[in-house]
């Protein structure tokens, strides 16, 4: 009788643990679900997008072919259970990149060209 009670108690504990973990929404689980959803999508799967989650907020990164693909990835991510919000760090292939370094380089170049054009082509 005692043995039967111990077995019953063990079964109840194991089933309670299984029920508690089946609805897990921790960040690692959410990231995994999002990655599976993105990889399984025929349009986005080949793009190899990445996802990281912090407190339910998913950041999707990688390169997509268009703004439509980016919107599709965001919409797909929002449908995943446990996702509270989505941030995009995706880049669109072929789109110009305007980083602060590029802007500074162009300003310096324009300044040099102005100087040369106003000083007979002689640099300082």
Beta 57-64 vs 50-54: how paired, if at all? antiparallel
Q: pLDDT tens digits, residue range 75-119? A: 999 999 999 999 999 998 876 655 566 677 777 877 877 877 877
Residue 112 has a pLDDT of: 79
> What's the predicted TM-score (pTM) here?
0.60
Asked whether the predicted pLDDT for residue 6 surpasses 70, the reply is: no
> Hey, is 50 helix, strand or coil?
strand
List phi, psi (to 5°) of 85: -160, 165
Q: At what angle do helices 67-78 and 27-40 cross, to 10 degrees?
A: 130
Asked whether the predicted pLDDT for residue 16 surpasses 70, the reply is: no
Average per-residue pLDDT in the chain?
80
Domain spanning 25-93 has what CATH number?
Answer: 3.30.1340.30
User: What are the angstrom distances between the C-alpha of 70 and each of 75, 83, 98, 110, 116?
Assistant: 9, 17, 19, 34, 44
DSSP string, 51-97: EEEETTEEEEEEEESSHHHHHHHHHHHHTSTT--EEEEEEEETT---
Asked whether the predicted pLDDT for residue 23 surpasses 70, the reply is: no
């Amino acid at each position: 009788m005692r043995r039967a009670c111990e077995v019953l108690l063990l079964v109840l504990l194991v089933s309670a643990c299984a029920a508690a973990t089946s609805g897990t929404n921790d960040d690692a689980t959410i990231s995994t679900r999002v990655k599976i959803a993105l990889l399984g999508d025929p349009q986005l799967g080949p793009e190899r997008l990445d996802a990281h989650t912090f407190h339910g907020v998913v950041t999707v990164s990688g390169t997509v072919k268009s703004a439509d693909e980016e919107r599709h990835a965001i919409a797909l991510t929002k449908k995943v259970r446990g996702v509270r919000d989505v941030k995009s760090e995706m880049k669109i292939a072929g789109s110009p990149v305007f980083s602060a370094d590029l802007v500074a380089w162009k300003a310096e170049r324009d300044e040099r060209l102005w100087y040369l054009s106003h000083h007979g082509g002689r640099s300082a």
